[in-house]
Chains A and B, each alone.
Chain A
């Protein structure tokens, strides 16, 4: 197995406040990792750091993505190299049709990788195929990106983008928040369809519920900016029963 992502001793702060405290994490190709933990443990911070959001400072440690220093790359380079972050709160872009956004994003990535751009008819065909699996109708693709979308539509749109862009590492930041049970299944099916031996996923969530549908290989507990426990999928069930309280006192 080859390590797709290797994080070593990561310390980071946001607006002068220390959030991550020596986090280590190795994700191999083909694996699905779940990261669980209480509010404010640094789960979202980790996902933003990986994606390169401005304002999130790495103070110590490093992350290797396919052997490349991740923090030396701009956010768009990381995306072109195959990193995808499914946002917890996807942003709205008024006046830009969803299909236009998909085309611009895919072709920007292809250009950066030195590949040829995809023609519009090919793209439309590909998008339609994925949209069908996700219960997305053509009317939604014409609407501006995320503007006036319901919570479920936004998350399905994130999944659509992920399936179109075919990233190597998918980071899903609380993709289950704001989803009803049916939408959760649709999104989980999409994510499961992406599971493959040369792709890895990091699923960030508070609840076991999502992990019933996306079954992880490894579960980590993140508390006070560090991974405090690692186990198999049964760890998630144990957490559901016992809560996070013990880890919070342990970390402090």
Chain B
């Protein structure tokens, strides 16, 4: 995200999911030009871990070339816990359905910004790529 003009604002929401043995890294540059006074950015970076062997990493780059820019960064990492899956399964969901439900809840902020057709595809893609990741 590069801020060139005065009083410009931007927002980044990143949702990363790591399952199995995968690692997920967020790298994001937010930069304010010398003349972009009063620039504002808010970055929200959430990671979801599925399983014991995966990891999430967040590496924000911030480049402020004037002293009035205000950049905020917030990061969370959460895990799909066995307890949460058990709760869903007690209500009748299979392990895979439970995982898909929790993951869809996690990515909701992002998916609801997408046009309908994309959102549906993205949702399907997520459930396909998570197939078999719960043991």
Binding site for B on A (CB under 8 A): 51-55, 74-76, 78-80, 84-85, 87, 90-91, 93-96, 100-101, 104-106, 108-109, 112, 144, 161, 165
Contact yes or no, B91 A74, CB < 8 A:
no
Residues of B72-90 contacting chain A, CB below 8 A? 78, 81-84, 86-90
Contact yes or no, B90 A85, CB < 8 A:
yes
Contact yes or no, A79 B108, CB < 8 A:
no
Contact yes or no, B105 A75, CB < 8 A:
no
6 closest residue pairs by CB, A with B: A95-B105, A109-B92, A96-B105, A105-B91, A75-B89, A79-B92
Contact yes or no, B105 A144, CB < 8 A:
yes
Contact yes or no, A93 B84, CB < 8 A:
yes
Of B51-59, B93-101, B113-121, the segment with at least 4 beta carbons within 8 Å of chain A is B93-101
Which of chain A's residues has its CB closest to B83's CB? A91
The size class of the interface chain B forms with chain A is: 20 to 34
Q: Which chain B residues lie closer than 8 Å to A165 at the CB level?
A: 91-92
Contact yes or no, A54 B90, CB < 8 A:
no
Contact yes or no, A96 B97, CB < 8 A:
no
Contact yes or no, A108 B102, CB < 8 A:
no
Among the interface residues A91, A100, A106, which one has the most CB atoms of the partner chain B within 10 A?
A91
Among the interface residues A85, A87, A95, which one has the most CB atoms of the partner chain B within 10 A?
A95
Provide the bound-state CA to CA distance between A184 and B19, in Å: 41
Is the contact region of chain B dominated by helix, strand, or loop, or is it mixed? Answer: helix
Among the interface residues B78, B87, B104, which one has the most CB atoms of the partner chain A within 10 A?
B87
Contact yes or no, B94 A76, CB < 8 A:
yes
Contact yes or no, B91 A95, CB < 8 A:
no
Contact yes or no, B105 A105, CB < 8 A:
no
Contact yes or no, A105 B86, CB < 8 A:
no
Q: Which chain A residues lie closer than 8 Å to B106 at the CB level?
A: 94-95
Q: Which chain A residues lie closer than 8 Å to B131 at the CB level?
A: none
Contact yes or no, B92 A80, CB < 8 A:
yes
Q: Which chain B residues lie closer than 8 Å to A80 at the CB level?
A: 92
Contact yes or no, B93 A95, CB < 8 A:
no
18 additional A-B residue pairs with CB within 8 Å, beyond A76-B92, A104-B101:
A52-B86, A52-B90, A75-B90, A76-B90, A76-B93, A79-B91, A90-B87, A91-B83, A93-B84, A93-B88, A93-B105, A94-B78, A94-B106, A95-B109, A96-B102, A108-B92, A161-B91, A165-B92
Contact yes or no, B97 A54, CB < 8 A:
no
Contact yes or no, B105 A91, CB < 8 A:
no
Contact yes or no, B82 A54, CB < 8 A:
yes
| Interchain Cβ contacts under 8 Å between A and B, 18 examples | A51-B90, A52-B86, A74-B89, A75-B86, A75-B89, A76-B94, A78-B90, A87-B87, A91-B84, A91-B87, A93-B87, A93-B88, A95-B106, A96-B101, A104-B93, A109-B91, A112-B92, A144-B105
Which of chain B's residues has its CB closest to A162's CB? B91
Provide the bound-state CA to CA distance between A6 and B70, in Å: 65
Which of chain A's residues has its CB closest to B84's CB? A91
Contact yes or no, B86 A54, CB < 8 A:
yes
Q: Which chain A residues lie closer than 8 Å to B91 at the CB level?
A: 79, 101, 105, 108-109, 161, 165
A128: shortest Cβ distance to chain B, in Å? 19
